[in-house]
Chains A and B, each alone.
Chain A
Amino acid sequence: MDSEDDMHDANDLESVDDDFYSGDTGMGSDDGDAHYDFGDNESDDSDDITSRQQQNYAILSEADIRQHQGEDISRVSTVLSIPRYAACILLRHYNWSISRVHDEWFADEEHVRKVVGLLEKPVEMPNARELTCGICFENYPRDCMNSASCGHPFCWACWRGYISTSISDGPGCLMLRCPDPSCSAAVGQNIVELLATDEDKEKYSHYLLRSYVEDNRKIKWCPAPGCEFAVEYVIGSGNYDICCSCSYNFCWNCTEEAHRPVDCVTVAKWILKNSAESENMNWILANSKPCPKCKRPIEKNQGCMHITCTPPCKFEFCWLCLGPWSDHGERTGGFYACNRYEAAKQEGAYDESERRREMAKNSLERYTHYYERWATNQSSRQKALADLHSMQNEKLEKLSDRQSQPESQLKFIIEAWLQIVECRRVLKWTYAYGYYLPEHEHAKRQFFEYLQGEAESGLERLHQCAEKELQVYLDAESPMKDFNDFRTKLAGLTSVTRNYFEHLVQALETGLEDVGSSNSQATCSKSSSSKILGNKSKSGKIKPAGASSAAGAPSRSMDDGNLWSCDHCTFANPKATNTCHMCEHHR
């Protein structure tokens, strides 16, 4: 146990280290800088966009991965004074954690060497003019043979075959050992490079690259289809949202699409729910009854209560009471009104199954409500993403022509579209959030829905401006004077919306904890959210979390004046009285 803890500590230390390094690359790309860049930056737009967020991760291209890997190998090789291929074997064995390699090595070098198959003193091949290959049993001159550090000689052709077989078996080739079954000497990249075919060398080096990402707890591939970037993450740095250079957003922790403010567990539940058969079952339960004889589900879409099951069953029964139709007639009150059912229902005999059906129907409707909105925002987001690309690829150039503006000055439009895409994503997940928000927490639900509604309308405004209002300037024949006003408006809307959504995410992530659950407070929180609205229109700064915390104690805030607010009905009473004028509640 102790050693494991040590390991974590070590890794954490290391990540601090890495943060330091990645800080270098991410410099000059904060939020703040993005604003200063407004006028005078020319070329590296795309870079700035990807690094808008606070950097607790770095996006690595294949070249970057190779470089990092090479640096790690060099570091271990230098510190332990071992060849690079040996350092590589060690690092791979300890999942590319330099600190672990160091720890294990300095704790018990002999043991580590034994485990990974690195001999301390290399053994030369037997000193004879001719040697017998241990695989094909042919004799060859000594200089046509080769061995790993253990000195077991094999001819080049057999080595090539051995390495090739192992490489085509998959990434296990990175742990290759000497062909001699009694020998555990490691076969490293040096031998592969020396003896394998070019094709195999390439495959091997590809496996090595993949291992550096896949076996490394600090690096993951971007999960977007076809994307070849990897992400190096600072473990323990909190925010899991990753924005890959391919513009895909995902969650570091669960590698699903980014889903703030919803947590990974809820997302997994929601995704499972969307895919699972359970919803089909709910539907069948809500909309069908089983045939009383053959038990197949029957959906009654219209018509009378006289149901005839399809062949081969052909059972005739009453939809209401599920009894055989032959029992129905004048006695039961006629064919179209089953009195037996009404009577039995009054006695409570049918309640249980009816109730279940009713509940399933309600829950299905509720789910459909949230799912539809989730899915609609999803497709809106896709659309916005496509618009963003068409903006980047064609429209921006056109606009720059029409309005005689350098493209670098039009970055605010891309910013706006990126914000729209991001907001759609957040909005989408608020529906999963809403679905799992407990039904009985009325105040929270009410506040949440209010915030969500505000978010919707704020985003609509931004979307409208970036789409419709921009069109005018795209269509214009000559530069328009008010283009600068448009710039100010769109940039303003972008930043207002960004702020609103950031605070929304924060508020939802803390579980709307500032909202109490009693009804009186629910009304308070409503009034506080109108404060948010007021703030927004004036300063563009919104703080739902802060505002709602004030909502928890509305009565105290009035104490400054000559009034006190009744805890029970909120009526403002003169200080002189101790009983509420309105409800006679005591102070």
Chain B
Amino acid sequence: MANSNLPRRIIKETQRLLSEPAPGISASPSEDNMRYFNVMILGPSQSPYEGGVFKLELFLPEEYPMAAPKVRFLTKIYHPNIDKLGRICLDILKDKWSPALQIRTVLLSIQALLSAPNPDDPLSDNIARHWKTNEAEAVETAKEWTRLYATGA
């Protein structure tokens, strides 16, 4: 089994994620692959994503924690730093990764990104332009998408 020689760090992180979850975030490892996590993040209050439940997948590569985990949104989301494939533009997932960061810190950062979109460092040009030219309208679209794709209905 691939899971048999799972590093102690991953086991510990998993245990802590399950026993003391961060508010608004749930992450549980897949049954057949302990390096693959199903993640749900609640849309932060006072953001266009409020009321939505966003599904993500998170994978810990072989080099983890020396290399960053791979995370992507599965739920469609209208956000200047997230593209239509769900890929996320976040520095700590790239060059600012540090092995002292954890799954928990990564997910908290993503949650914070939902509260504070950054159209100056965009992944999706169209959405970012929308955000910068007409923020109110962009926020409306984001709310619309949240209702359409991120509510359990």
Contacts and interface: CB of A to CB of B under 8 A. Distances in A.
B16 to A, nearest CB: 9
A347 to B, nearest CB: 55
A165 B100 CA distance: 14
B8 A179 contact: no
Interface in B88-127: 92, 96, 98-101, 105
B66 interface: yes
Given A179-B100, A181-B101, A137 B66 contact: no
Interface in B53-107: 63, 65-67, 92, 96, 98-101, 105
| Main secondary structure on A side of the interface with B | loop
A135 B64 CA distance: 10
Interface in A357-409: none
A181 B92 contact: yes
A137 B65 CA distance: 11
B92 A161 contact: no
A136 B98 contact: no
A199 to B, nearest CB: 16
Contacts of A162: 66, 99
A184 B99 CA distance: 14
A138 B13 CA distance: 12
Q: How large is the interface on A (under 10, 10 to 19, 20 to 34, 35 or more residues)?
A: 10 to 19
A270 B63 CA distance: 50
A137 to B, nearest CB: 5
A180 interface: yes
Interface in B1-23: 7-9, 12-13
Given A134-B100, A158-B99, A181-B98, A165 B9 contact: no
B101 to A, nearest CB: 6
Given A179-B98, A181-B92, A136 B7 contact: yes
A165 B92 contact: no
Contacts of B100: 134-135, 152, 154, 179-181
A137 B99 contact: no
B12 A161 contact: no
B9 A135 contact: yes
Interface string A162-179: 101100000000000001
B78 to A, nearest CB: 29
Contact of A161 (B8, B66, B105): B66
A164 B63 CA distance: 12
A162 B67 CA distance: 9
A135 B100 CA distance: 5
Contact of A180 (B8, B66, B67, B98): B98
B103 to A, nearest CB: 12
Contact of A137 (B8, B63, B98, B105): B8
B66 A165 contact: yes
B9 to A, nearest CB: 5
Contacts of A134: 100
Nearest to A168: B66
Contact of A138 (B8, B63, B66, B105): B8
Contacts of A138: 8-9
B99 A179 contact: yes
Contacts of A161: 66, 99
A136 B8 contact: yes
30 contacts: A134-B100, A135-B9, A135-B65, A135-B99, A135-B100, A136-B7, A136-B8, A136-B9, A137-B8, A137-B9, A137-B12, A138-B8, A152-B100, A154-B100, A158-B99, A161-B99, A162-B66, A162-B99, A164-B66, A165-B63, A165-B66, A165-B99, A179-B98, A179-B99, A179-B100, A180-B100, A181-B92, A181-B96, A181-B100, A181-B101
Interface of A: 134-138, 152, 154, 158, 161-162, 164-165, 179-181
Given A136-B9, A137-B9, A179-B99, 19 more contacts: A134-B100, A135-B9, A135-B65, A136-B8, A136-B65, A137-B12, A138-B9, A152-B100, A158-B99, A162-B66, A164-B66, A165-B63, A165-B66, A165-B67, A165-B99, A179-B98, A180-B98, A181-B100, A181-B101
